Structure 1
Amino acid sequence: MPRDTKLILCPVNLRHLKTDYSAYEEAIAMAKRRGAKLLVATVAPEMERNLNIRDSEAFWGEQLQSFLQTHPAEGVELEAVVRKGAVHRQIVKLADERNVDVIVMESANPKVQDYLLGTTASHVVTHAKCSVYVVRS
């Protein structure tokens, strides 16, 4: 019997969303099929590369809201969240705190360095307590 899905987490990397947001689209479709709420999250870096960004959580929150307005999740209850820190750790932590049923996230095709250093997706798959659906971009 399939599990009841109430909350889906879709972490998004706002730096890459201009070219590919297939994981976000897949998360919307899954939320519609399952009648689940969609939690869209982005993680602000601890230290900004751009020194003009004084409040990174506010900046990335505005960027996330802008993306969501441009790409609405029609027919899906949606909540946006901004976290700060290491991306792979914050995704797992947020999923645990919110008791997420499934994480839908992107992963680029692996390269040699990914096998040596690890990737965000591989960390999340290894450490998340819930199911993780990885969308290849």
Structure 2
Amino acid sequence: MARETRKILCPVNLRHLKLQQDAYEEACEMAVRRGAELIVATVAPEMERNLNIRDSVGYWSGELRKFVRDHPPGPVEPRLVVRKGAVHRQILKLAAEEAVDVIVMEAANPRIQDYLIGTTASHIAAHAPCSVYLVRTP
């Protein structure tokens, strides 16, 4: 018997928007098909490279709202979450806190250095408290 999916987490890297839409679209469709809650999240860096950004969480909250407005999720009303810190740690922490059933995220083709230090997607897939659905980017 298939497990019920009540919550789907879709982390979005707003710095690489052109590469992030496939997983987001898949998460939206999955939420509609399964009647699940959709949580769309982004992680703000601990230290902003752009010194003009004073309120990192506020800035990225606005960017996340713009992203969802520009890419309507259909009949699903997503909950938006912004965390601050190391991306892989914050996604895993959010997934555990929210008792997420599946994480839907992008997985870029690995480069040689990724085999040595690992990618965010591989770390999350290895340590997540739930299923992880990786959408391969070209």
Same fold by TM-score, threshold 0.5 exceeded?
yes
In structure 2, the partner of 1:121 is 121
C-alpha root-mean-square deviation of aligned residues, in Å?
0.8
Give, as a single letter, the amino acid of the residue that structure 2 aligns with 1:47.
M
Match of 1:50 in 2: 50
Partner Cα separation in structure 2 for residue 58 and residue 125 of structure 1: 29
* Conserved 8 A contact 1:22-1:135: yes
- Rounded Cα–Cα distance in structure 2 between residues aligned with 1:66 and 1:78: 13
Q: State the partner residue of 1:104.
A: 104
Q: Which runs of 4+ in 1 moved over 6 A?
A: none
Gaps in structure 1 of 5+ consecutive residues: none
Q: Tell me if 1:93 matches 2:72.
A: no
Percent of pairs with identical residues: 68
Partner of 1:78: 78
The answer as to whether partners of 2:12 and 2:20 remain within 8 angstroms in 1 is no
Q: Distance in 1 between matches of 2:39 and 2:129?
A: 17
Q: What amino acid does structure 2 have at the position aligned with 1:128? A: A
2:24 maps to: 24
Give TM-score scaled by structure 2 length: 0.97
SS, match of residue 38 in structure 1 = strand
Superposed CA offset, 1:54-113 (max 9, x none): 000000000000010011111113100000000000000000000000000001001110
Q: Is the 8 A contact 1:9 1:95 kept in 2?
A: yes
Asked if structure 2 preserves the Cα contact closer than 8 Å seen for 1:42 and 1:64, the reply is yes
Count of aligned residue pairs for this structure pair: 137
Mark the runs of 5 or more structure 2 residues left unpaired by the alignment.
none
CA contact (8 A) 1:36 1:77 kept: no
Q: TM-score, normalised by structure 1?
A: 0.97
